[in-house]
Amino acid sequence: MHDADRTPSRRAFLDATGGALAAGLLAGCTSDSTIRPDRPVPSAAATLAPVAATGRHQAGVTLPRSAQRNLLAVVADLGTTVAPGPLLAELGETVRALTAGSDPRLLGLPPGDLTVTVGLGPRLVRTAGAALPGAADLPRFSRERIASGARGGDLLLQICADDPLLPPVAAAALLDRAGDRVRERWRQSGRRGTDVPVAKGRTAPRNVLGFIDGIVGPHTAAERERDLWLAGPASVAGGTLAVLRRMEIDLTRFAALSVAEQEAVFGRHRDSGVPLSGGTVASGPELGAKTPDGRYLVPVDAHVRRANPTVVGVGHMLRRSYSTDEPAPGLLFISFQNDLRTFTATLARMDASDALLPFTTTTASASFLILPGFDRQHPLGSRLFD
């Protein structure tokens, strides 16, 4: 059944409209006396270029510009008797309708740069093949305080948009399409900080700790083919692997450090992002550089040293962090890579000695196979579950 032929459920309608109505009430408090009821203010989303939902890769992993400012990650479980193939195909149809602006459950909002990225958890991946990328569960690490309902999950819906109203509305539409075949496990919203130029044509945002985040990563097409996209087998080629970690951060204790102490934790200057060993914001740290008295310029437990991919012996992650307010101040960390060991080996080395980790507590954790791209002829998930 086509999306437009379905009647939105009462739950989905209430979930979606709640945020929109609240925003409308807040908009009514503006002090700009020139705004008239008969002259609606155009949405910023109406001026943003749409992002194609179809193609070799799913949208929302890479974009031709900076990632959107707002994200909602919804993690759900499938019923044990639910066939993944038909559900994924229907979700793909809904994604196309939402991003095209033709789904009435958008409630009149222009889709702007809305993207939806769908991933499968290890349990579902194993039903398609125990040796497939993404079939292995994410191991447990130190500094975790994770309730059973916030670990893992079968289905990821990563919804991004510059307009903060769009992610919850799109999530309501997708969950309405899925119906009682899925049960929501946990969700997390987040926002990106102000973008800072880090290289020609490339920016990165500041995180909730004040530092520029996501400087290092696979940025060129060649780097992404090497470290980001799965080359095979054919059923997953063009997909990638995602890791999500929600972390509470002790902002009070970190803010009590001097700027020099904060910079020693990260191994970069807070204002510019330049490594403590010198260079530019985009240049890698010189880990062997020392002061005249023999001290490393980048401390031995600095985050940029402990997480350095060359030292760890793994590829680069495409990393994104989103600041969160609920359930506590912190970050939602997301990494994309074509080998789960890229993440697990890095975090294992950080666990041993990383000056940043004592300020964090992980409260949710999951990994997913991000499915390859799709189109009308090849529905979402069809290569895996045909």
Domain residue ranges of the chain, discontinuous segments joined by +: 43-385
In this predicted structure, the answer to whether residue 357 has a pLDDT above a threshold of 50 is yes
Under the banding of pLDDT at 50, 70 and 90, the label for residue 31 is very low
In this predicted structure, the answer to whether residue 7 has a pLDDT above a threshold of 90 is no
SS3 263: helix
Q: What pLDDT does 36 receive?
A: 44
Distance (Å, whole) CA 278 – CA 285: 7
In this predicted structure, the answer to whether residue 18 has a pLDDT above a threshold of 70 is no
User: For a pLDDT cut of 90, what percent of the chain falls above it?
Assistant: 81
In this predicted structure, the answer to whether residue 13 has a pLDDT above a threshold of 80 is no
CA nearest neighbour of 287 among 272, 264, 267, 314 = 267
Token pair in block for residue 192: 């990106």
Q: What pLDDT does 6 receive?
A: 45
CA–chain centroid gap for 67, Å, is: 9
> What is the arithmetic mean of pLDDT over 183-198?
94
Helix 84-100 × helix 166-178 angle, to 10°: 150
Under the banding of pLDDT at 50, 70 and 90, the label for residue 268 is very high
In this predicted structure, the answer to whether residue 100 has a pLDDT above a threshold of 50 is yes
User: For a pLDDT cut of 70, what percent of the chain falls above it?
Assistant: 88
Token pair in block for residue 20: 């929109």
Higher-confidence position of 283 and 300: 300
Q: What pLDDT does 194 receive?
A: 87
Q: Where are the beta strands (DSSP E) in the chain?
A: 70-78, 115-120, 155-161, 182-191, 195-199, 202-205, 240-249, 318-324, 330-337, 360-370
In this predicted structure, the answer to whether residue 22 has a pLDDT above a threshold of 90 is no
Q: What is the pTM of this model?
A: 0.87
103-141 pLDDT, tens digit each: 999 999 999 999 999 999 999 999 999 999 999 999 999
In this predicted structure, the answer to whether residue 33 has a pLDDT above a threshold of 50 is no
369-378 pLDDT, tens digit each: 999 999 999 9
Q: What's the mean per-residue pLDDT of the chain?
A: 90
In this predicted structure, the answer to whether residue 11 has a pLDDT above a threshold of 50 is no
In this predicted structure, the answer to whether residue 239 has a pLDDT above a threshold of 50 is yes
Token pair in block for residue 292: 């005249």
